[in-house]
Structure 1
Amino acid sequence: MNLEDKVKNLPDKPGCYIYYNKDKKVIYVGKAKNLNKRVGSYFNRVHNIKTTRLVREIFDLDYFVVKNEMEALILEENLIKKYRPRFNILLNDDKAYPYITITNEKDPQYKYVRKYNKKSLRSYGPFPLGSNAREIMTILERIYPLRRCKGNLGKPCIYFHIDQCSGACFKEVDQSFYKNNISQVDKFFKGNVKEVEQTLINKMQIASNNLQFEEAQRIKETIKSLKIITFDQNVELNSQKDTDVFNYHISNENIALVGLFFRGGKLIFKDEHIQEYFEQDEEAMLFNYIDAIYTKNNIPHKIIVPKFSNDILINDQLKTVITKPINKEEIGLIELAYKNAEELNRKSLIKSLSAQTNKSVVLKELQTLIDLNVYPNHIEMFDISNIGNEFVTGSCVVYKNGVPSRNDFRKYNIEIEDASDYHRVKNMIYRRFQKALVERREMPDLIIMDGGIIQINAAKEQLNLLGLEELNVIGLVKDDHHKTDHLIDLDGKVVNIKSNRNLYNFLSGIQIRVDEYAKSGFRKKQNKKFLETGLEKVTGLGDKKIQNLYKKFDSLENIKNASFEELNSVIKNTNTTNNLIEYLKK
């Protein structure tokens, strides 16, 4: 069937759809309550309103029917992670923000975590990245102590002696102690910081009176940190309930998305994301952004968005808390989020105009320079690193849209008899792309080999063997000082790149990264080799036990001279200890 017939014959069922361009690359992944209605809306819009850049690139489509909306949400997330389509919302990080939690244990303790944990007794946050969240936790540990040690030590820990541990290290702690302190922490995060500040001032005065000037100075610095953390906000909510507000702004071919996070009635931070806009469904883009944030973060009591259509597919948890602005205060918050998104677009425009190393410009220059038949959105570079003929490691770094795609980086242990770079490259390239074919992964627009014609020919030989002769391969050559010098183009000709500073810096950056990534692989192998003692040959003795033995006895000689009882106190298994002693005798 042609594309039009495929669209007309889509089922009226929930599922996910995939759009391909003429090069059979995935350019967009979407989810729908009704595949026929949702996908059809893209193509109806072409005739009724305007042709979108997304629709102009659609050459083919595929789809998956699922049982329900939740399965569609999960499948979409997995497909986006797999294909990283350029028209989808692709966040640069996993959006896992810091939280301060109190563990749900008999003797609870504070924890600083980077992912919301539903099992915690209390969770406070999220806090912005680079914030003073750790400093906040330090203050709470000093003012409202919980358990700070491992517990059950049989004696007071060092923190107990300085009033920063409940005493669970050596005694049974009354639960009312924890209950009272946790209650005070709750009040603190609701904005009642004066009590904490006054407590610190009193402690500072006592330390000063006792001539403990260093302690007094430390407390003074803590008070200063507290003031930085709890400065007065101009933006406040009447409600104390956790509330997040989202909006977007479209300008200069970009869409800017902003989230404002209110905790305890105060605006604690905002999240921002900006990317190219292709006249897509902006509401769907906003909800994809929201989905990505709450995959790893606590869902608040309320999420306010500018509009909310019934055909937008979101998970059930979010559905219960998402609302359009209802009262004057909520309308004001939506306007505030819009102004922040507008400002983000304005700053982005200024930055893009002034930046001389704009990635898209550099990639287009590379495409023109080597007469590449496609825009090099997806680049893979390969290198081999080793010492002599030992610890041989191949590496592959991947760039998409001109930036590193670290989740796609790979290392390859190369253990073959032939010691030439030619054969090592062949081994790595075959393994990389044979697996890519099996997994039906997207192929790169451009392959860069660290090296010259030898490495290029080795790569092409294996690609031809796999039926991938259409893939583009060039080489990046270093000079005698191990610095990027020139490239070998698609026709095997030497091309000078030093005259184009932006392109040179871009390619040199990739070459440095692939080199360091390869070296990190062989260094790891090298270190492991140096640490081998032979003890791993002892039946029942694993890496952890070997590590513990060295922690206690420092050297192999001391382990040999230790008694059965001393060894067994670490190993805690009679048979394994006997195996070790027999091995050491030999």
Structure 2
Amino acid sequence: MEQHILEHKCFRSVGSRAWEREHEEIFVVVHKIADKIKSFPETPGVYRFFGKNKILYIGKAKNLKKRVQSYFRTSIKEFKTNKLVERIEDLDYLTTNNETEALLLEQNLIKSNQPQFNILLRDDKTFPYIKIDDAHDYPSITFKRTTKAEKNLFGPFISAKGTRTAITELQKALKLRTCNDIFFSNRTRPCLQYQIGKCSAPCVGFISKNDYQKDIDTTKSILKGNFKKILKNLAIEMKDYSANEKFEKAGVVKRKIRILERVEESQIIFSGGDQTKVVSVASSGEDVCFVVIDIEMNSFTNIRRFSFKNKVNKSELNLMEEFISRLILSNPQIKEIVCSNEKFHSPFFPNIKISFPTSGKKKRWIDMAKRNAKNLLSLKLQRSNKYSLSINYLKENFDINEEDISIVGFDVSGGVGDIQTVSCVFFNSEGPIKSKYRFYHVPLKHAKSDLSALLFGVKKYLKNNFSINLIIIDGGLTHLKYIENGLGKKAFEVVSIGKGEKRKYGIENLFFKKNKVEFRHDDSMSKIFLDVRDEAHRFALKNFRSTKRKNLTQHFLQDIPGIGPKIISRIYREFKSLEDLSKEDYLSSALKLGINPMKAKKIHDFLKEMYN
């Protein structure tokens, strides 16, 4: 009976035997899914739906068999759920001991696999971290902004200013280096930081590796909030020095204690207090926006905004449950959630207080979160509407659906004979996807013309194997023909945007296939084309200027780890040009330069791309 329901669900819109015979291969998939679901246990766990070579959806269930069967019942009417089911080609499950374990496993799998139909959180900002690079014998302590935590990062912290202050204070107390590795490896005498008492000068051997590592371990302990233990140990150390009449060393330790006490009191690094999160949501159709206000020590510290697509039409209550679960799992120090939805309740976190205020300070926090969530949603909807006419044009002329839009824009910066670079930007129907941006230096053999440089950039970007259905290049009909001839047979369309009359913005021409479209006659459909072109130009200009500035202050070979001014000087003494070096065997050049063969190979590979 269950198998019959499953088959009926997947083929309820078929309508004829002829269609069934024509699509006979789909029946095999359905029978396979029906047979698999029969074997699912009635226990807690996580289930996964697979499409063509990728995971479509990951979910948790108290009863795996019943939950998965519910997707295939004829009573399911939601369009988006039907859309998911139609793509399913396989499924599997993982059992857990209880619902809480299922929740933890589900969130970890979603985080690592990023399925298309799950909630994919995208915070709109990066966070300040303190980085300690353990790969170096004498690790540096530096400031870093990123959206993802890594093994050697501590944080995220409340504010960038506070994080930089923390680094300064830790440097004063423990005299850690903050310089980059190239600067460190080329020092022959202590720098100014040592002279003013803010560094122990490990670059010239003024401190042993073991002693420096002790200071690094102390720093890590402080960044984890272990102030009391560290201060207690330092107090014991100070007393020992005093007892042995080593008063200078005792004075150094005393200064460390004062600085660290100031850091602890001002709560620059680690608040030590319970955290409260104020959460509100706003949604419209597929677009969902959450705002989280961070509260520490009963005062406002930060506000974060998240957005995602609700592709399976979940209710706001279910969205709130899933979002808050992920929020708590990623922030174990949370003690209270102040929520805007009075119906929300989570049995998975009994130790966390859930409150729904109706007055007072917490009510003002909720109102603030609601306003911000609505504002963020409004901005997202405006952005979506901005491209509506362009999306219709893509559908009519290129047969590209809104959910499949994958556009890449290319632009070249730099003149012939100078440094040339190619920028690549990626857009979907919502706008830019910066994780898929790329920036390439053009080898000398391709830098003879803009056309050759552009073709090089397009071919190199295609090696990323991103799904692409349209390429936009900045140039006229000549550029379009050159790129199309250079690429040969392709699974995507190529268009070019050329300057129009008097080269004014907004009256450009769009060239594709054998067509020429003048934007001045209908600029409503030009939005996405011009935005991609302009973003590619902005990205190209930014990186080109950065490259030019960098080349004015240091040699480009210093981009290679372990290559500094001394080795570069040797290269110019031993070889007439870098081109001659690129033609020499790397083992031979290693002997001539007196360097490690692996370093010589890195230089050789770097130059080979430029000259060969």
* Secondary structure of the corresponding residue to residue 396 of structure 1: strand
Other-structure match for 2:345 = 307
Deviation at 1:366, TM superposition (A): 1.3
Report the CA distance between 1:248 and its aligned residue: 4.0
Backbone CA RMSD of aligned residues: 6.3
Gaps of 5+ in 1: 190-225, 232-238, 311-321, 561-573, 581-586
After TM superposition, give the deviation of residue 481 of structure 1 in Å.
5.1
Question: For 1:508, which of 510, 513, 530 is the aligned residue?
Answer: 530
| Equivalent residue in structure 1 for 2:410, among 382, 397, 406 | 382
* Aligned residue identity for 1:443: I
Confirm or deny: 8 A CA contact 2:408 2:532 kept in the other structure.
Answer: no
- TM-score, structure 1 as length reference: 0.58
Query: Which blocks of at least 5 consecutive residues in structure 2 are unaligned?
Result: 1-25, 96-101, 229-262, 577-589, 597-612
* Structure 1 residue 477: Cα displacement: 1.1
Matched residue type, 1:510? V
Amino acid corresponding to residue 249 of structure 1 in structure 2: V
Q: Is the 8 A contact 1:107 1:146 kept in 2?
A: no
Amino acid at match of 1:134: R
From 77, 88, 92, the equivalent of 1:61 is: 88
- Say whether the 8 Å CA contact 2:275–2:296 is kept in structure 1: yes
Q: Which residue pairs with 1:17 in the alignment?
A: 49
Letter in 2 for 1:547: G
- Matched residue of 1:135: which SS? helix
The answer for the alignment partner of 2:78 in structure 1 is 51
Q: Which amino acid aligns with 2:346?
A: F
1:366–1:575: structure 2 CA closer, same or farther, 3 Å change rule?
closer
Helix, strand or coil at the partner of 1:280:
coil
| C-alpha displacement of 1:360 | 2.0
1:418 and 1:157 map into 2 onto residues whose CA distance is: 40
The within-5 A match list for 1:54-453 is 55-56=82-83, 59-63=86-90, 65=92, 76-80=110-114, 85=116, 88-92=119-123, 97-99=127-129, 112-114=143-145, 126-128=156-158, 132-135=162-165, 137-138=167-168, 145-149=173-177, 241-245=273-277, 247-253=279-285, 254-264=287-297, 266-275=299-308, 277=310, 279-280=313-314, 282=316, 285-286=319-320, 289=323, 299-300=332-333, 302=335, 304=337, 306-308=344-346, 322-323=349-350, 325-326=352-353, 339-348=367-376, 351=379, 358-369=382-393, 371-372=396-397, 373-376=399-402, 377-384=405-412, 387-388=415-416, 394-411=422-439, 413=442, 435=463, 441-444=466-469, 446-453=470-477
8 Å contact kept, 1:100–1:112: yes
- Tell me, yes or no, if structure 1 residue 487 matches structure 2 residue 509: yes
* Equivalent residue in structure 1 for 2:564, among 547, 552, 563: 547
The letter for the 2-side match of 1:255 is V
Once the two structures are TM-superposed, the CA of residue 405 in structure 1 deviates from its matched residue by 1.4
Q: Deviation of residue 127 (structure 1)?
A: 2.8
CA distance in 2, matches of 1:156, 1:429: 47
Q: Structure 2 counterpart of 1:548, which letter?
A: P
Distance 1:160 1:550 in 2: 26
Q: CA deviation at 1:511?
A: 1.4
The AA in structure 2 aligned to 1:51 is E
- Call closer, same or farther: CA 1:416–1:378 in 2, change over 3 Å: same
- Aligned-pair distance for 1:398? 0.8
2:238 aligns to what?
Answer: none
SS at match of 1:47: coil
CA contact (8 A) 2:51 2:87 kept: yes
Question: Kindly tell me: are residues 556 and 415 of structure 1, through their superposed partners in 2, closer, same or farther at Cα, counting changes over 3 Å?
Answer: closer
1:242 and 1:184 mapped to 2: Cα distance? 17
Query: TM-score normalised to the size of structure 2?
Result: 0.56
Instruction: Name the amino acid aligned to 1:89.
Output: L
Counterparts of 2:420 and 2:276 in 1: how far apart (Å)?
50
Q: For residues 325 and 336 of structure 1, what CA distance do their matches in structure 2 show?
A: 21
The code of the aligned residue for 1:257 comes to F
User: Is the contact between residue 98 and residue 126 of structure 1 (CA under 8 Å) also seen in structure 2?
Assistant: yes
2:495 to 474, 482, 489: 474
Distance in 1 of aligned mates of 2:429 and 2:593 = 56
Q: 1:424 to 1:342 in 2, by over 3 A?
A: same
**Could you say what secondary structure the match of 1:258 adopts?**
strand
Equivalent-residue separation in structure 1 for 2:199 and 2:459 (angstroms): 57
Distance 1:10 1:27, change over 3 A: same
Distance 1:428 1:179 in 2: 47
**Could you report, residue by residue, the CA deviation over 1:524-564 in whole angstroms, capped at 9, with x for unpaired residues?**
9999999999x99xxxx99566523179x89968999xxxx
| 3-state SS of 1:443 partner | coil
Query: Which string of whole-angstrom CA distances, capped at 9 and with x for unpartnered residues, describes residues 259-309 of structure 1?
Result: 3434456543232213454532556645765687789x7642657484336
Q: Distance in 2 between matches of 1:15 and 1:362?
A: 38
- Deviation, 1:465, is 2.3
- Select between 360-369 and 160-169 the one with higher mean Cα deviation: 160-169
Letter in 2 for 1:495: V
- Taking a change above 3 Å as real, the CA distance of residues 494 and 30 of structure 1, as seen in their structure-2 partners, is same
1:365 is displaced (CA, Å) by 1.3
SS at match of 1:89: coil
Distance change in 2, residues 1:400/1:488 (3 Å): same
Letter in 2 for 1:346: K
Q: 1:375 to 1:128 in 2, by over 3 A?
A: farther
The superposition leaves residues 147-172 of structure 1 with CA deviations (integer Å, 9 ceiling, x where unpaired) of 24489999998667767679999689
Show CA shifts across 1:218-270 (max 9, x none).
Answer: xxxxxxxx9xx889xxxxxxx96543536442444443323343445654323
Quote how far apart the aligned CAs of 1:91 are: 0.7
